[in-house]
Structure 1
Amino acid sequence: MVLYFRGDAFQGKAMMPAERLVGTALVAAGATVIEADYARGSDNRFPQAMEHAFMALAYLSTKRKLYGGLTKSPLFVAGDEAGGNIAAGVALKARDVLLGDLSGQILLSPMIDPMMTSDSLRKADEASLSARWAEGWSHYLETACGFQHPYAAPCLCSRLSGVAPALVVTSEDDPLRDEASGYAERLATSGVSVSKTVLPAQCGWTGIYKGEEGEWMAALRGEFIRFAQQLSA
């Protein structure tokens, strides 16, 4: 079972009725996917948004059968872009509060560095995306007591050991590639089991930011299947 958090750069006001392509890819891999509307009532601000997402995980962990799973069905959190930040933050809190309940975290180009100083971001020819992400960070952290809270900016967390195994996916042409890869490396250094995949530029991975289909969907399906099989082995 996968609890999914969408992107939208911390600016989406409510869950949209349109089908989410990430969810479609994970369903095709055999997962039951439930989307958490963490924006409702939180206005996409920390800590409310992350806390709403965590409450959804805590609820689902005891209600798996209600949503078509088994009592012990493996439970994952997943998110792309801003949703990847939420998923990473929820995974950190789950380590602290729901020990053993979370089987893994799926971080798809997670937007986890509020400093926005990575080489891949600076070199990217995506000025409109960079501006949107800067506005999103400003909005998300507006009421936070400093942006260095580990649940708000997981890449700044000084204690990553014990967090759930991670599947981290990015691409060669992804503006968020460096922060995704850097976080994967820090997780691995902390003893966390990590599967990191950098997809080729021609697979259309950056289409996740615009809701565009592409070869990335089949690639993500395959990576998730391998990740789940590794954890069950």
Structure 2
Amino acid sequence: MVKQWENLDRTHPSFPLPFRLYEGSAVTKSQPLVLYLRGTAFMEEERPEVESAAARAIADAGAKVVEADYCSVSGNVFPRALECVFGAFMALIAKRKRFGLARSQLLVAGDESGGNLAASVALKARDHAAGELAGQILLSPMIDPRMATLSFRQADQIKMRVRWSDGWSHYLRSACGFEHPYAAPCLCSRLSGVAPALVVTSENDPLRDEALGYGDRLASAGVEVIRQVLPPESGWTGIYKGESGAWTSQLCPEFSKFMRGLKT
């Protein structure tokens, strides 16, 4: 079941974001609550009409998913975008009971530019809300503004190079953006203490190397990390166009396994 966009609380100053709620068939009081951030390459500000295939897959894996519309509110510019999603995260801490999940673990997830923000929320949660975030799910996170990895050469094949380049320029147009660890998590020098991570990419994904590189750095910092690299035939890169594919059924077990392995 998925609802249309609505406001969690129109009067609550810390959660001004409209949201969509995704639920799977198995609804329990102990299921995880996931804040989901959709990828838009930091370029789109219109509220999407269709549901997110990735958010749906996470819900089908047993979570209740809140997809927050940060784009139309923040303009996709740092630090405003991060302030919006972190405000949503803090509101969910206080409002879990609103979803009947007062004791559930809280996770953050995102794909592409939403994966950037999910990783940034995990860093900021470590620094300002220790112990509140149980895990982070990073689906081909767009976290390296240098765009110089070997796999990134494939970006032209799916016609994303210019879009990602323009997106980074838009997101980091503030003078300090590129230097700030919350803006480009892959450049952060201190990764220890963040929540456990599930990092997903595919063999033919232009963002593969930066996603796996970030996963390796998290692991080197002592963070529990699960890496999943899907085969080219999974259709994973269709995620950038909002498309589903074989990857949805392949990832449901990985999501479930990751969420079951989180510490209570």
TM-score (norm 1): 0.96
Please list the CA deviations of residues 168-197 of structure 1 after superposition, one character each: whole Å capped at 9, or x if unmatched: 000000000000000000000000000011
1:8 is aligned to 40
Shift of 1:144: 4.3
Contact 1:46 1:144 in 2 (8 A): no
1:148 is aligned to 179
**Match of residue 138, structure 1, among 169, 174, 179:** 169
Contact 1:14 1:37 in 2 (8 A): no
Change (3 A) 1:127 1:33: closer
SS of equivalent residue, structure 1 residue 95: helix
Shift of 1:229: 1.3
2:233 is aligned to 202
Which amino acid is 2:223 matched to?
A: V
Shift of 1:125: 4.2
Which amino acid is 1:8 matched to?
A: T
2:107 is aligned to 76
Unaligned residue ranges in structure 1 (runs of 5+) = none
SS of equivalent residue, structure 1 residue 9: coil
Greater RCO, CA 8 A, separation 6+: 1
**Match of residue 67, structure 2, among 35, 39, 56:** 35
* RMSD (Å) for aligned C-alpha atoms: 1.3
Which amino acid is 2:149 matched to?
A: S
TM-score (norm 2): 0.85
Shift of 1:127: 6.1
Which amino acid is 1:40 matched to?
A: S
Unaligned residue ranges in structure 2 (runs of 5+) = 1-32
Shift of 1:91: 0.6
Which amino acid is 2:166 matched to?
A: E
Give the number of equivalent residue pairs: 232
Give the alignment of 1:37-116 within 5 angstroms. 37-69=69-101, 71-116=102-147
**Percent of pairs identical after alignment?**
59
Change (3 A) 1:170 1:127: closer
Runs of 4+ in 1 over 4 A off after TM superposition: none
Please list the CA deviations of residues 5-29 of structure 1 after superposition, one character each: whole Å capped at 9, or x if unmatched: 0001001113313111011101111
Change (3 A) 1:146 1:18: closer
